[in-house]
Structures are given as C-alpha cells and as structure tokens.
C-alpha cells in the first residue's frame, strides 16, 4: 500500500517507448512491492519469529502499515514547499549514477516540489501542478471547469453511485469556482494541503480514470496483467485510495481531462540522460513530474 517509499532501485528501467512495455515494467514494480512488504512484515519486531496461530498476522501487518502511514503523514506535507533543484543534487551527493543524472536536469529545470509518498503522489502532484498552471492561464481554468461540469453525468452513466460521486464532484467544483475568484498559488497550496479537500479531489480523479478505462475497456484490456478484466483492475488498482498510479492511470487521466504531462524518469536505467515520456504522446506538456521508482514529485521548468 505504501509502495512509494519501499520500491527501491531494483525496479526495472524505463527506457521503453510503447505503452505495452511500460505496463510490463510496472507489473514488476507491483510484484516487487508486495514481496518487499511481506519481507518487512517478517522483520517486524512486533512479530514473533515462530508462527503463532493465536495471533492474527493480518492485524500485525495492518498495525505496522498504519504506523508507517502515520509517520509519513507526520513528516511530509501532501504538497511540499518550492525547493531549488540543487537540493535534489545534494540528496544524491554520494551516488554517482543519480547525481550524474540530476545534473542533466539542471539546464531544463529549476525547482522541485516534493509530494507525500502515500500512494496518491501522482494524483496530488497532478492536481497541484495543474491548478497552479490554471492560476496563470485563466482560459484553461474555464475549460477545465466546463469539463468538470459535464464529467458528473458521464460518471453516473457509467454506474458510479450517485450520492457519493456527487459529493466528490461538488467539492472539486467548489475548489475551481473558488480559484476563479480569488485564485493564487498560495490558495492552491492551502487547498491541496487541506486533508479533507485534497483527498476528495484525489478520489474524483480516481473515478474519472476508472470511467475512462472502462469506457475504453476493449483497448485497455490488452495492457492489464494477471487475467483481470478492466473492471476488476479499476476496482483493485484505481478506485481505492492510496493505490499507486501506473502508466495506465496516467494514460487514462491525461486523455480524459485533456492535459499534457511530461514524466522524467530518474532511475538506474542505462545512459547518462534522464528518460522522459509525454502523456498523451505528441501532446504539449503543461505539467512536469519527476519519477523516481515508486514516487512522483513536481518539477518546474526554466522556460
């Protein structure tokens, strides 16, 4: 569940260009994460070394996960402050591969904003970066508002529960309307760091992704591993909170909302440069995100 912080550098490299390759890579990430979690659970000091049938093992794992989640919550803001990109360089001062790659980012990017690694990092990063972009591009904010208005009926048509879907939708509409009036980056920061509000926005994006995947199920079914249907995939990997976003999620979200995203992949992959990928392909990105295995942060380009 908190794979953001656990998936280490053993994740496969991302030097692929087709969607299918991305998916293969991500399935490994998921698998690795699960193994890692089990491994961690075994090492837990609260867990006896021998199997004890009287103790509910699930409970122990759950308690540990909760503890990790609490620690992350206490130590990391959902959307962090605007940091200089050199802070990233410092982070990897002892790591020649990473620091070499970060250096190649410096000519293009100037700042980084870190997000909370709770499995919602991509979505929170997307929401913040996009709303911030909208503050400076009012016509885009108007377009987005119109899209949001229409999206509710689409979700109802796809069979999402009316009462709760409406609740998440209304919250998003209120945030957008509020930004139309007194929009400022500070305001966006406050909204995105307010627990209730931020989580509501995240859920609504999850519903939009799920709806887009299910509407185009025939196409997306080719990219889903493990013999699951698109609907099952959505129930297990998209709609629940704290589930990490993979390439399918990003493909679906950027296509549904019509917003271009560039992801820079910082990992141990071959080559000195940082691989990048634009979603949807051939789009002009308005949001730049930094991917490190299992986690997304927001990047600011110099232009």
Partner 1 sequence: MTVVMSKHSGTASARLRADYMRIKRDPVPYVTAEPLPSNILEWHYVVEGPEESPYEGGYYHGKLVFPMEYPFRPPSIYMITPSGRFKTNTRLCLSISDFHPDTWNPAWSVATILTGLLSFMLEKSPTFGSIETTDYEKRQLSQQSLSFNLKDKVFTELFPEITEAIQNKLAQREQELAERAKALENGNPSERDASTNDSRKQNPDAAQMSALTNLLVVVGFAVFAWTVRYIVSTLSEEEG
Binding site for partner 1 (CB under 8 A): 1, 56, 58, 62, 160-161, 163-165, 167-168, 170-171, 174-175, 178, 190-191, 194-197, 199-200, 203, 206-207, 235-236, 239-243
DSSP letter for 222, please: G
Please count the CA atoms within 13 angstroms of the CA of 171 that sit on its side-chain side. 19
φ, ψ of residue 122 to 5 degrees: the values are -60, -45
| Closer CB to partner 1, 92 or 156, in the complex | 156
φ, ψ of residue 295 to 5 degrees: the values are -150, 145
| Closer CB to partner 1, 248 or 290, in the complex | 248
295 among known catalytic residues: yes
φ, ψ of residue 232 to 5 degrees: the values are -65, -40
121 among known catalytic residues: yes
| Closer CB to partner 1, 52 or 84, in the complex | 52
Question: Min. distance of Cβ 211 from partner 1 in angstroms?
Answer: 11
| Closer CB to partner 1, 62 or 137, in the complex | 62
| Closer CB to partner 1, 161 or 226, in the complex | 161
Phi-psi sector, 83: left (phi>0), alpha (psi -120 to 50), beta: beta
Question: Min. distance of Cβ 274 from partner 1 in angstroms?
Answer: 31
118 among known catalytic residues: yes
| Closer CB to partner 1, 54 or 139, in the complex | 54
> Which ranges in the chain belong to alpha helices (H)?
3-6, 19-43, 57-75, 86-91, 96-105, 121-136, 138-157, 162-182, 185-193, 195-215, 217-220, 230-233, 247-257
Question: Min. distance of Cβ 293 from partner 1 in angstroms?
Answer: 20
Question: Min. distance of Cβ 62 from partner 1 in angstroms?
Answer: 8
Question: Min. distance of Cβ 239 from partner 1 in angstroms?
Answer: 5
Long-range contacts (CB closer than 8 Å, 24 or more residues apart) made by 259-262: 259/126, 259/130, 259/286, 259/287, 260/284, 260/285, 260/286, 260/287, 261/126, 261/285, 261/286, 261/287, 261/288, 261/289, 262/287, 262/288, 262/289
User: Which residue in the list 4, 121, 234, 246 is annotated as catalytic?
Assistant: 121
Whether the CA torsion 103, 107, 109, 112 is positive or negative: it is positive
Which of helix, strand or coil describes residue 2? coil
User: Which residue in the list 26, 118, 246, 297 is annotated as catalytic?
Assistant: 118
Question: Min. distance of Cβ 207 from partner 1 in angstroms?
Answer: 6
> Which amino acids are annotated catalytic?
118, 121, 295
């Amino acid at each position: 569940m908190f794979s953001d912080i656990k998936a280490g550098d053993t994740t496969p490299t991302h030097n692929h260009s087709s969607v299918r390759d991305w998916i293969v890579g991500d399935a490994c990430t998921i698998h690795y994460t699960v193994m890692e979690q089990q491994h961690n659970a075994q090492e837990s000091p609260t867990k006896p070394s021998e199997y004890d049938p009287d103790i509910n093992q699930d409970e122990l794992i759950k308690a540990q996960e909760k503890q990790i989640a609490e620690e992350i919550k206490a130590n990391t803001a959902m959307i962090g402050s605007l940091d200089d990109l050199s802070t990233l360089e410092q982070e990897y001062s002892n790591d020649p591969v990473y620091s070499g790659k970060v250096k190649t980012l410096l000519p293009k990017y100037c700042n980084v904003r870190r997000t909370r690694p709770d499995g919602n990092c991509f979505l929170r990063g997307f929401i913040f970066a996009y709303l911030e972009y909208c503050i400076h591009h009012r016509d885009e904010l108007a377009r987005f508002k119109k899209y949001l208005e229409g999206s509710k009926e689409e979700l109802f048509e796809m069979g999402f529960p009316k009462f709760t879907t409406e609740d998440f939708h209304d919250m998003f509409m209120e945030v957008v309307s509020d930004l139309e009036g007194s929009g400022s980056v500070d305001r966006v920061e406050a909204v995105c760091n307010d627990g209730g509000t931020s989580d509501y926005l995240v859920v609504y994006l999850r519903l939009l992704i799920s709806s887009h995947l299910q509407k185009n199920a025939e196409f997306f079914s080719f990219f889903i591993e493990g013999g699951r249907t698109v609907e099952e995939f959505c129930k297990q990997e998209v709609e629940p909170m704290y589930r990490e976003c993979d390439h399918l999620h990003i493909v679906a979200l950027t296509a549904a909302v019509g917003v271009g995203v560039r992801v820079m992949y910082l990992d141990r992959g071959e080559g000195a440069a940082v691989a990048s990928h634009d979603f949807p392909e051939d789009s002009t990105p308005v949001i730049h995100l930094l991917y490190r295995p299992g986690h997304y942060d927001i990047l600011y380009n110099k232009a």
